[in-house]
Amino acid sequence: MERKKITIPDLAAKKRASSPITMLTAYDYPMARLVDDAGIDMILVGDSLGMVVLGYDSTVPVTMDEMIHHSKAVRRGNKYAFLVGDMPFGSYQISKEEAVRNAMRFMKEAGCDAIKLEGGDEVIDATIAIVNAGIPVLGHLGLTPQTISKLGGFRIQGKTAETARHLIDQALRLERAGCFGVVLECVPDKVAKIVTEKLSIPTIGIGAGKYCDGQVLVLNDMVGLFDRFVPKFVKQYVKLSHSIAEGLKRYKDEVEKGTYPGEEHSFTIKDEELKKLKRMKKR
């Protein structure tokens, strides 16, 4: 069957059919091609690129221009997956007008299919304004890395009855505000299950257990390219950093020993042309 571009109705249909949604981050053209070719439903150009690609200590320093730059590269490598651009810190908190303007940049300049906003009550007005502007919004609750200092660090959210109830209420409010889905990060699995059952829109879990409608991971984490720390919820399916490091060492060793490049890596010139060249040099 011919593969088609994933749409919001497709994602909604997956929830109704209890067919798990797959989602990964990507930050450049070659990785986007690999993710899309693997048949992943959704690609998030996450502001996590600040840490796993740009080397920042957190996601907070990431700018709109950096997000647009990487989103454009991912769009060029992606054909079928539903592409979501992550609104960075400071791009939607100032005013509703500023939020809409920056969301439009993801759509017009980067060719994204939707944007993602972190937060609950504090982003409801911005969410409504962006949705009313015709731009799909993916919500994000639980651990919200952009406000990690307010949360007191990387901590599980919704561990008490009171905080879990608040998270559920926030999810329902985001649904009413027009979000087509909600990411749940670092939430107890049974709490994520309740949210998933209460919402008519898909939930995408990251450290939220198996009961969500879909799962998302940071690509660089799950392929072992980022080793500063590995969250508990991450499963590393390969460890590319080890393979790459080994390849780099072998390259250095072969260049220093003179075994690379070999004849198979070199271009040749015909003997008669070489003779002509040498005669030219004598003139």
Q: Which of 97, 175, 185, 263 is catalytic?
A: 185
The structure tokens 């920042």 sit at 56
31: nearest Cα among 175, 240, 252? 240
**What Cα–Cα distance (Å) separates residue 79 from each residue in 13, 95, 97, 261, 273?**
20, 33, 31, 37, 47
Complete DSSP assignment for 173-204: HHHHHT-SEEEEES--HHHHHHHHHH-SS-EE
* Token pair for 109: 């300049």
Residue 246 is among the residues annotated as catalytic for this protein:
no
**What Cα–Cα distance (Å) separates residue 63 from each residue in 50, 70, 90, 241, 256?**
9, 11, 8, 27, 41
Active site residues: 185
